[in-house]
Structure formats: C-alpha cells, structure tokens
Structure 1
Amino acid sequence: MSDTTTTTTTTSPDQALKARHRVMWGLGDYPSVAADLIPELGPVVVTATGIGPGDRVLDVAAGTGNAAVPAAATGADVVASDLTPELFEQGRAVAAARGVELRWEEGDAEALPYPDDAFDVVISTVGVMFAPQHQAAADELVRVCRPGGRLGLIAWTPEGFVGDLFRTMKPYMPPPPPGAQPPPLWGDEAHVRALLGDRVTDVVTRRQSVTVDRFPTPAAFRDHWRTVYGPTVVAYRTVADDPERTAALDRDIEECAARHDRGTGATVMDWEYLLLTARVR
C-alpha cells in the first residue's frame, strides 16, 4: 500500500463550523498531546476490535494516527481520515519510524468520502466525539462498515477529568451553533447506544482511564495545556482582550486539575474514558 494523501470536499451543511474546527485542531501542539499524554489509547482500541492482517480499517478523526499507526502495524490495510490534514505530517513521521504504511485522507466525520460497507473495522479514539452533530457522525460510522464488521470507539466521559475540563472552559468559548452537542456525551453509554440503535449488536462497554502524571502541580498542567490543546488555545484567544476573564480562566482550569489530582508531591490525574465495541448487523 502506498502512503498517499487524498483531499476531499466536506459536504457538511455548516461549512463555517467545519472551517473553525479545522483551524482549532491545527492550533497548539496536538501531536505532543497524542504522543506524550495518551499514547496508550490507540493500542487499546486496536486490541479491543481484534484488528489484524488483511482487515480494511478506517480510523475516523484520526489526528496523528494514535490508533491508525498501531492498526497498520498489525498488517491491516488502514486509512487515517481527519478534517485537519495538517496533523498528518507528524503521523507520517511516526509511521515511518515504525516501518508501517497507511493512507492519510482528509475527510469530515459527518460526511465520510467512502462508499457503503467499505471497511471491516471502523475505529475512533477521542476523535469522532468532536463532530458537533452526533447522530450524523454515528450514521456515517455504521454506513461505511460492512455487515458483520466491527466498531471500536474511545471517548472521554462526561464525569471524568476531560468532561469536567470542557464544562470549565465552556463559559469562555465561542457559543456553539444550534444543534451542536457536547463532545463528552460520546462517553455516555446510553447516549452512544441510542446513536447506534438497533443497527449494531454485541455491544460491549468498559470505563477505563489513562493516568497522566507528567506535571508537578495543577498550575503547571494549566500552563502547558493552554499552549498545546486546540480547544484551550481557542478559549484563551476568546478572552485575550479581557485580563479579568483570562485570570478567571487560569484559576478555573487550575482548580479543575486540582479536583482530579490524587498525587502527593506531584500531580497525578486519571482521565476516564468509555471504550465501546460493537458489530454492525
């Protein structure tokens, strides 16, 4: 398989929103987040879905390939799709270092540029959850997966640290468009089951967590996170002209991290996520 990039035109009705999302995920340094803080998530979904040689795999909202690269390392035929192709450069470097090949293709999770039943396995690791129209994205996941094929999804839970962080940042963010749903809802089992409906079977869910212990204090986490994570960068840019609101955002993010800190002498947080696997009928 060759390592190529295919560019497609998004068919979402809200082009302005898609453009903002693409810019947002290109801000900061998401490759460092994927590589340094949550590298274990990709292999978790690859193992849970039993990806192996010959499987046709689509990683939706793949980012830098946290799941796509380890999927390709099993011998699977993998496509990494994302709305923000600027992330692919780092992904290619990681893939090259591991000696694996896959395709990197621009695509909108709510309007995937693939035919029905095109893949044996469709996965997403804290990715598709950021598509604002949840039902449209879920419909696409099912549509492009063949009957009998497998779905594997990882999403941050509403109750966990990242869900709490998004609630914390919401007052400082631009208002979402009508109909947009909060990303951490994808980490609620009942919500995802309702999205997928009776089109899937053999649904298995587990709540797990990734431990983040790289920061000495909650304030150190805040100072790092405000520079590397696109949504947080947007929050700070939104209030940049208001010193009082900037200070309030500083305080609120630090307090959020402190609420989830179980460390002694250094900050240790467990970021809870929902792992869901299913088969398409």
Structure 2
Amino acid sequence: MNESEPPTEADRALKARQRAMWASGDYPAVAAEVFPNLGEVLIEACGIHAGQRVLDVGAGSGNVAIPAALTGAHVVASDLTPELFDAGRQIASARGVELEWREADAESLPFADGEFDVVTSCVGVMFAPHHQDSADEIVRVCAPNGTIGLISWTPTGFIGRMFAAMRPYGRQLPPGAQPPPLWGEEAHVRDLLGDRVTDVVVRREVVRVDRFDGPREFRDYFKANFGPTLAVYKAIGAEGTADAADKVAALDAELADLARQHDVGEGSFAMDWEYLLLTARKRA
C-alpha cells in the first residue's frame, strides 16, 4: 500500500464525489460507442501477450482489460467506481473471457510490490486527483523490467479544452489536487515517473470520433452520459441562484461551439481527439 500520509476527511469526501460522478450517466456506453478501439491501441503499444500478469488502473468497464484478457494474459481490472464493473462483466461474458474485477483507489493500490508484468491505464488514472501518488503506485506494483503504458487526453486536445471550458462552472479542485489533462503533457508524466523507468516512448495521436450527427448532438449525449459533464451541470443547479438558467445556456453554447471548432468531417460531422500515448520499462 501507499505509505504516504493517511487520507484526510477532505480527501475521502473528494473520492466519494468522484465515485458518484463516474457512477452517474453511462460511462460504459461512452467508452464503447465514442472511442471503442482506444484500449486495443494501448495493448498493442505495450505488447501484451498470453501468460503475462496485467493490471489496468482506472479500468472502468474494461476497454483495456477485456481485450487484454483475450490475448491470454491474466488481467486485473481495478477502479475506484465498482458500479462500472457490472457492464464490464457482461461484456466479458459475451466475449467469452474471464478476468478479475477489483475495487481500488489508484492512489493506494491493494497489490504487492512488483506484482504485475504490465500496468496500464487508458484515460483512467489521469482522473485521480493526486498525480504523484498515483504514479508512485503504478511504478511500485510493476515488476522490474515490466511495462507501463498510459493513454491520457492532452490539455490542448478536444477533451482537455472541454474540461477547461467546464472548469469555471463546476466545483473547484481542493488544495493539492491537480487537473486531469496534465497527464497529457509529456514533461509532466516524465517528472512523475522520474528515473525509475527507462526506454520511454511517447507519441501524440488522435482518435476519430464520428458517432454524432453534429455539435449539439455531441453536447446532449455528454450531458446525459459522461459523469464529469453531468457533475458540472448538477453543480450549476445546486447553486440555486437566479442566473443558473443563464449559466446552463452559456455552457450549452460553449460545448457545442467547441465541438463545432473541432469538426474535421467532410460532408459529415467528425472530430479528432488528441491523446498522449506513453510506454516505459521499469528499471530492474
């Protein structure tokens, strides 16, 4: 377990809010419908294969863990929000594969030092608030010479810009917490991992998102299904102020406009969402 200071009441409250946030909406649908192949990208980059012990951190409903298990690897899918596991178990059963589902905080993983040959996270660990704690845990549970593989949305890409647009409307981060898109900055992740890793390979890639008919359809889908977006709109409503409706309308317009700015489709609506793909080997 992480040997840092025990969690404060504020930390526990923050984690409870995060769990509730990701349990709201329908994140399994978002992962399956909006960026369904992102997990396979990470699996290929890490070279996951049969017989390996694999831990996926912030696994959600298993967009990395399930295809990793299909390679014959022994996979543990861990997440702070076990409410997402039911959907994952159904997907795994339909695909005829078994893996372990484990409730776990990325900042204090309940696994032994060096327990896994590969440790991955696909737009998952980036949402844990204390980045260094999470990075320390990822390195700790990875075996010497093992592989670490991470996909994170970048600050300058669509999702990073969406979080920046939502930030003024939602609950502010408590002291010590860091914004998720920082994991999409190469220098930041290199600093987090430090000299404990070697053979670092970093690429900026995009995933083409063409599920939506237009910017407003994207916005409405995320308002209904994506936990962080739901949380921001809920925070506006909880203010109980006279201008709440104006704030909702303003955020509606900002999100639709942001999607419109990222339209790269020719004759149909499509966006390219940028992410950082990093792989590394833990030093022996």
Q: Same fold (TM over 0.5)?
A: yes
> Which residue of 98, 110, 130 maps to 1:113?
110
Structure 2 CA distance for aligned equivalents of residues 48 and 224 of structure 1: 30
Instruction: Please report the TM-score for the alignment, with normalisation by the length of structure 2.
Output: 0.94
Counterpart AA for 2:263: D
Q: What's the C-alpha RMSD, in Å, of the aligned pairs?
A: 0.9
- 2:221 is matched with 224
- 1:270 is matched with 272
- 1:6 is matched with none
| Distance change in 2, residues 1:193/1:209 (3 Å) | same
Deviation sequence 1:146-190 (CA, Å, 0-9, x none)? 110000000001110000000000011111110111101101111
- 2:139 is matched with 142
Structure 2 CA distance for aligned equivalents of residues 67 and 186 of structure 1: 18
Counterpart AA for 2:245: P
> Which residue of 70, 74, 79 maps to 1:73?
70
Instruction: Please report the TM-score for the alignment, with normalisation by the length of structure 1.
Output: 0.95
Alignment of 1:23-102 (within 5 A): 23-102=20-99
Structure 2 CA distance for aligned equivalents of residues 271 and 151 of structure 1: 22
- 2:3 is matched with none
State the Cα distance separating 1:217 from its structure 2 match: 1.4
> 60-69 vs 207-216, which deviates more?
207-216
- 2:246 is matched with 244
State the Cα distance separating 1:214 from its structure 2 match: 1.4
State the Cα distance separating 1:266 from its structure 2 match: 2.8
State the Cα distance separating 1:22 from its structure 2 match: 0.2
> Which residue of 182, 187, 203 maps to 1:190?
187
- 1:7 is matched with none
The residue matched to 2:51 in structure 1 has which SS?
coil
State the Cα distance separating 1:213 from its structure 2 match: 0.9
State the Cα distance separating 1:268 from its structure 2 match: 0.8
Identical-residue share of aligned pairs (%): 61
Structure 1 CA distance for aligned equivalents of residues 267 and 234 of structure 2: 32
Counterpart AA for 2:252: D
Counterpart AA for 1:239: I
The residue matched to 2:89 in structure 1 has which SS?
helix
Unaligned runs of 5+ in 2: 1-5
> Is the 1:206–1:276 Cα contact (8 Å) retained in structure 2?
yes
Structure 1 CA distance for aligned equivalents of residues 207 and 225 of structure 2: 18
> Is the 1:62–1:125 Cα contact (8 Å) retained in structure 2?
yes
The residue matched to 2:211 in structure 1 has which SS?
strand
Matched, 1:175 2:177: no
Counterpart AA for 1:46: I
The residue matched to 2:156 in structure 1 has which SS?
coil
Deviation sequence 1:58-102 (CA, Å, 0-9, x none)? 000000000000000000000000000000000001111111100
State the Cα distance separating 1:259 from its structure 2 match: 1.4
Matched, 1:152 2:154: no
Structure 2 CA distance for aligned equivalents of residues 12 and 77 of structure 1: 31
Question: How many residues are paired up?
Answer: 271
Structure 2 CA distance for aligned equivalents of residues 215 and 178 of structure 1: 37
Unaligned runs of 5+ in 1: 1-10
The residue matched to 1:66 in structure 2 has which SS?
coil
State the Cα distance separating 1:23 from its structure 2 match: 0.2
> Is the 1:168–1:252 Cα contact (8 Å) retained in structure 2?
yes
Counterpart AA for 1:235: V
> Is the 1:226–1:233 Cα contact (8 Å) retained in structure 2?
yes
> Is the 1:12–1:110 Cα contact (8 Å) retained in structure 2?
no
> Is the 1:57–1:119 Cα contact (8 Å) retained in structure 2?
yes
